[in-house]
Amino acid sequence: MSAPIGVLDSGFGGLTVLRELRRALPHHDFVYLGDSGRAPYGGREAEAVLDFSEQCVERLFAEGCRLVVVACHTVSSVALRHLQARYGSETRRVLGVTIPAAECAVGATRGRIGLLGTARTVASGTFTTEVRKLADVLVVERAAPLLAPIVEDGWEETDVARAAVRRYVATLGDIDTLVLGCTHYPLLRRAFEGALPPEVTLLDPAPWVAERLVDWLARHPSFASPGTGRLRFLSTGDPARFAELGERFLGEPVGEVEYLAERGGALVPAVRVVPRGQLVR
Ligand code: DGL
């Protein structure tokens, strides 16, 4: 039986990564888990990011995945080592996006790299650490906490989005390459292109993440398990909203979204009940 590849994100944003993974591996099945009910992760404490991402990874393994790709830059920057140490084995692996992001930035830069990401991603400094392992270049990381909520609300093409992007780009100073270090930012590409001088290279690491995964699977053939290109979506948030917004991130209709609730420290399939008025226990 084929094993789907798990893709984990704090919410909808990782669908921009799934889009590229699917393009690169059209015959593989994927299970995407968006922790939308607890997103955004970017302003959370590192311990909370570890707790939430543990629950997500455990759910994806329970769904039959043997390989989990952490699409979320926040989780990748803060919790990947922990997740790999805790869950990695001969038959189970967890991969992230920070090293591929560093590799493509180093491949593109003339010496001055900027990264915009969540507050937690930037506080970790993990991207800078990974770049410095590859090259002696300048790295400037800055937090852009308003951008993910702007995208979540579908405001990418508004003056609000353009003004916010301009303000955050200005905090980076003199750079030649800008890395979109958050899964939501590719949807703001137009605003970024308008805010950056033409000589600055704008990088979405997602296509490179997909290429690296193809390469990794070639080197670890026991984890390559092609199926029929089936997609499943799990969310801790409102499934209807996930399906509606998800289409914009994925670039194709999302279809059915299965709801997960947290019960006793685990994410489990559940029926979502939205009470009107007060909830009394
Ligand atoms: N998925 C997150 C990331 O790539 C962005 C949204 C969040 O703060 O949860 O960092």
Condensed to tens digits (0 to 9), the pLDDT of residues 226-237 reads 999 999 999 999
Catalytic residue, from 56, 65, 104, 182: name it. Answer: 182
**Per the confidence metrics, is the pTM higher than 0.75?**
yes
Residue pair 41/120 in contact (Cβ under 8 Å)? The answer is yes
φ, ψ dihedrals at 141, nearest 5°: -110, 135
Q: What is the pLDDT of residues 146-159, one digit of tens each?
A: 999 999 888 999 99
Closest residue to atom 6 of ligand 1, CA basis: 40
Residues 6+ apart with CB under 8 A from 245: 12, 152, 154
Average pLDDT, stretch 263-275?
94
Task: Round to whole Å and give the CA distance between 242 and 255.
Answer: 10
pLDDT beyond 90 at 88: yes
**Would the CB of 9 count as within 6 Å of ligand 1?**
yes
CA-wise closest residue to 179 among 112, 253, 248, 271 = 112
**Dist. CA 42–CA 157, nearest whole Å:** 22
**CB distance 257 to 33 below 8 Å:** no
Q: What confidence score (pLDDT) does residue 152 get?
A: 85
Spatial separation of the C-alpha atoms in residues 95 and 107, rounded to whole Å: 20
* C-beta of 35 in contact with ligand 1 (< 6 A): no
What mean pLDDT is predicted for residues 11-34?
A: 97
Which token pair is 93? 């692996």
In this structure, the residue with its CA closest to atom 8 of ligand 1 is: 42
Residue 16 Cβ inside 6 Å of ligand 1? The answer reads no
The yes-or-no answer on residue 182 being catalytic is yes
Q: What is the DSSP string of 88-137?
A: --SS-EEE-SHHHHHHHHHHH-SSEEEEEE-HHHHHHTHHHHHHHHH---
143-147 average pLDDT score: 97
For 67-95, what is the mean pLDDT? 98
38 lines ligand 1 (CB under 6 A): no
In this predicted structure, the answer to whether residue 22 has a pLDDT above a threshold of 80 is yes
Locus of tokens 């094993």? 3
Round the average pLDDT of the chain to a whole number and report it. Answer: 96
Q: Which residues pair with 141 in a beta bridge?
A: 115
All domains of the chain in start order, with CATH:
5-97+208-268 (3.40.50.1860), 98-204 (3.40.50.1860)
What's the pLDDT score for residue 279? Answer: 86
Percent of the chain with pLDDT over 90: 95
Radius of gyration of the chain (CA): 18
Mean pLDDT of all residues in 26-54: 97
Q: What is the pLDDT of residue 85?
A: 98
Which spans in the chain are helix H?
15-24, 46-62, 73-87, 98-108, 119-124, 126-134, 147-152, 159-170, 189-195, 206-219, 239-250
Rounded Cα distance between 33 and 9, Å, is 6
Residue in the structure block whose two tokens are 């290109």: 229
Distance (Å, whole) CA 251 – CA 127: 28
Given a cut of 90, whether residue 27 has pLDDT beyond it is yes
Residue 5 confidence (pLDDT) above 90: yes
pLDDT at 1 exceeding the cut of 80: no
